[in-house]
Chain A
């Protein structure tokens, strides 16, 4: 069965979002039905667009142009200059996408980048980012950020904190939660019946038997033992520098990394602009391109749409579509 079309929320109008939506339609056309939620007046108009009344019209409209579920925002888009007056509309676009994904009229939601400060100033948006807002909308406490490309899926266990904070923030409890959510999502969202997870060590050579750090023995290994006992297929703790080459990758479906760059370095090195963000643990499918609003190049038509296109493809495939 063909899934429902993917909702693409507009994100910050002053950023590269509107041009990415047009570029994505230009590449995907009818092959992958999606619709953009935003103010049609903000689109640069490099491709035709078709205003639709409901997601059900998106597949047909995609033959003619970029399907748009219209939201009205006060005033035009000024590339590079965020406007407080747009903030409520940007938030409404996300809420609309989530609502449609939750009631099944959208196969999932893909979010274009927001500008946190603009939303805080204009809409009192109090969340550190998209992910926390989505968790709040869904009424979920714990979500997991995964970065995924065709060749690698990585989950950073700690994310946006100083490296010096990592040894303190990394706890058995946190690691176990991340593994459990990842495991379940691989089953439910990626259709992998018995997921194989690789878990990196924190220290060089995974501590080399305690010679270069003890977290592997005292923290990571006991969690893995506990979860193996309940039937999970876990390997590790593995030396992080030898777990990402092709042959090693063939042995697992996702890798859990102890800190941000341990996850980001391999995926960027392997698939620089093809990695996408996937939020695991939500009651709906959510992906996003792995970059920001790029105010410095907004409006020039030079933004690279690869990550947005890949994020739409990822959401579509997760929803059961072929792409």
Chain B
């Protein structure tokens, strides 16, 4: 890893009916985020002006055509203007499939730019998933959209990060019936490897990972299901043999309490609600969501578009700032790995 490497991130304003534009404007006006990373803003200039007005801030942008043209030493923020969204046509606080389609187009343009190699990560303000879906981006989550746009066929996962803890899961946005079929030895090991890798890239030197059971009471010795015995424990042992510090399976109603108490840096859940119920109660919606495993780093604040407070200038930028900082760290670490040619 080279100490001089400075990643370039594309910043997008997310769904403009929400708090994305005003958060973006406030963060860029404040400016300190640019000390550690080169930022290029991608989106519609008029939307940025709207966000600046909402946030009550002002700053200059330097309009460029391609990422390579950015002058990161200048005070003006480099911006690529897609000129694809007119504030006059959007209603604040109201999800709109037409807007969702444009938000998807912006992300698509961001991924294309990143594929050219000039950009190392994409950090996006909150999306409105239903508006995007209804607008024609028919993916169950944005992570699947990104993998699709990148033509990526490998292992990728959504992960939820708060205060250095990384929560991940073996299955995600699929029905419970499908999830049950997808919980396999290989997929558990893949999730463990990726979780271990991401924690290390984020700076945890010796990640400790807990694995949740699938069944009540950890299967109660096979009485309430045998997946713990047949699938999960063998997968945990196989991952341990690879040098991953993982333990489990643990009963899922208390495994998160163990992690929140500091016993583990991560919990790998078997299915969506198993992880999301506990982590949302813990406040992970104030954290960052990462699409892990893709060649480009993607991060976003875990909170939503906050339609109830749009335009009031009170949106908290904390999670978005954390998302940008985490993307910077991950892009730097990922660059080190890729430039040394180490396999994943």
A residues in contact (CB < 8 Å) with B:
159-167, 202-205, 207-208, 211-214, 240-242, 244-245, 259-262, 264-266, 268-270, 272
Chain B residues in 8 Å Cβ range of A268: 253-254, 257
Chain B residues in 8 Å Cβ range of A269: 256-257, 277-278, 281-282
How many positions in chain B have a CB within 8 Å of any CB in the partner chain? Answer: 36
B274 within 8 A of A: yes
| Docked complex Cα distance between A147 and B215 (Å) | 18
| Also in contact, A241 and B277, with CB within 8 A (given A268-B254, A269-B282) | yes
Q: In the complex, how many angstroms separate the beta carbon of B344 from the nearest chain A beta carbon?
A: 27
| Docked complex Cα distance between A213 and B216 (Å) | 21
Chain B residues in 8 Å Cβ range of A203: 175-176
| Also in contact, A270 and B215, with CB within 8 A (given A167-B176, A241-B276, A261-B252) | no
> Is A204's CB under 8 angstroms from B256's CB?
no
| Docked complex Cα distance between A260 and B213 (Å) | 12
> Is A160's CB under 8 angstroms from B217's CB?
yes
> Is A163's CB under 8 angstroms from B172's CB?
no
Chain A residues in 8 Å Cβ range of B257: 268-269, 272
Chain B residues in 8 Å Cβ range of A161: 216, 224-225
Sample of 16 more A-B contacts, CB < 8 Å, known A204-B175, A262-B277: A160-B224, A163-B180, A204-B173, A204-B276, A205-B173, A211-B140, A212-B173, A212-B175, A240-B273, A241-B277, A242-B280, A244-B280, A245-B281, A265-B277, A269-B278, A272-B254
Contact digits for B222-260, partner A, Cβ 8 Å, 1 yes 0 no: 011111000000000000000000000000111011000
User: B256 contacts which of A164, A165, A205, A265 (Cβ < 8 Å)?
Assistant: A265
| Docked complex Cα distance between A260 and B254 (Å) | 13
Q: In the complex, how many angstroms separate the beta carbon of B30 from the nearest chain A beta carbon?
A: 30
B219 within 8 A of A: yes
Chain B residue nearest to A272 in the complex (CB): B257
> Is A265's CB under 8 angstroms from B253's CB?
yes
B272 within 8 A of A: yes
| Docked complex Cα distance between A164 and B224 (Å) | 9
Number of A-B residue pairs having CB atoms within 8 Å of each other in the complex: 101
9 pairs of A and B residues whose beta carbons are closest in the complex: A162-B225, A213-B175, A241-B276, A264-B253, A260-B216, A204-B272, A268-B253, A240-B273, A265-B277
Contact digits for B260-302, partner A, Cβ 8 Å, 1 yes 0 no: 0000000000011110111011100000000000000000000
> Is A163's CB under 8 angstroms from B215's CB?
yes
| Docked complex Cα distance between A207 and B220 (Å) | 29
Chain A residue nearest to B130 in the complex (CB): A208
Contact digits for B176-187, partner A, Cβ 8 Å, 1 yes 0 no: 111010000000
> Is B277's CB under 8 angstroms from A244's CB?
yes
| Also in contact, A162 and B224, with CB within 8 A (given A167-B176, A205-B173, A265-B256) | yes
B214 within 8 A of A: yes
| Docked complex Cα distance between A208 and B174 (Å) | 10
| Docked complex Cα distance between A159 and B225 (Å) | 12
Q: Can you spell out 20 A-B residue pairs with CB atoms less than 8 angstroms apart? A: A161-B216, A161-B225, A163-B214, A163-B227, A164-B225, A165-B225, A203-B176, A205-B173, A211-B140, A213-B176, A241-B272, A241-B276, A242-B280, A259-B216, A261-B216, A262-B277, A266-B278, A268-B253, A269-B282, A272-B254
> Is B273's CB under 8 angstroms from A204's CB?
yes
> Is B273's CB under 8 angstroms from A262's CB?
yes
Contact digits for B143-177, partner A, Cβ 8 Å, 1 yes 0 no: 00000000000000000000000000000111111
| Docked complex Cα distance between A264 and B274 (Å) | 10
| Docked complex Cα distance between A204 and B225 (Å) | 21
Q: Most chain-B Cβ atoms within 10 A of its Cβ — which of A160, A202, A262, A269?
A: A269
Chain A residue nearest to B282 in the complex (CB): A269
| Docked complex Cα distance between A244 and B280 (Å) | 9
Q: Most chain-A Cβ atoms within 10 A of its Cβ — which of B175, B214, B271, B278?
A: B175
User: B140 contacts which of A160, A212, A270 (Cβ < 8 Å)?
Assistant: A212
| Also in contact, A160 and B216, with CB within 8 A (given A262-B273, A269-B281) | yes
Chain B residues in 8 Å Cβ range of A262: 273, 277
Chain A residues in 8 Å Cβ range of B225: 161-165
| Docked complex Cα distance between A311 and B227 (Å) | 33
| Also in contact, A164 and B281, with CB within 8 A (given A204-B273, A261-B274, A265-B256) | no
| Docked complex Cα distance between A266 and B178 (Å) | 23
User: B273 contacts which of A211, A241, A270 (Cβ < 8 Å)?
Assistant: A241
| Docked complex Cα distance between A81 and B278 (Å) | 36
| Docked complex Cα distance between A262 and B223 (Å) | 19
Q: In the complex, how many angstroms separate the beta carbon of A83 from the nearest chain B beta carbon?
A: 23
Chain A residue nearest to B252 in the complex (CB): A261
Chain A residue nearest to B228 in the complex (CB): A162
User: B216 contacts which of A159, A167, A272 (Cβ < 8 Å)?
Assistant: A159
> Is A162's CB under 8 angstroms from B219's CB?
yes
Chain B residues in 8 Å Cβ range of A264: 216, 253
| Also in contact, A204 and B174, with CB within 8 A (given A268-B254, A272-B257) | yes
Chain A residues in 8 Å Cβ range of B220: 160
Q: In the complex, how many angstroms separate the beta carbon of B206 from the nearest chain A beta carbon?
A: 26
Chain B residue nearest to A259 in the complex (CB): B216
| Docked complex Cα distance between A261 and B216 (Å) | 6
| Docked complex Cα distance between A241 and B256 (Å) | 14
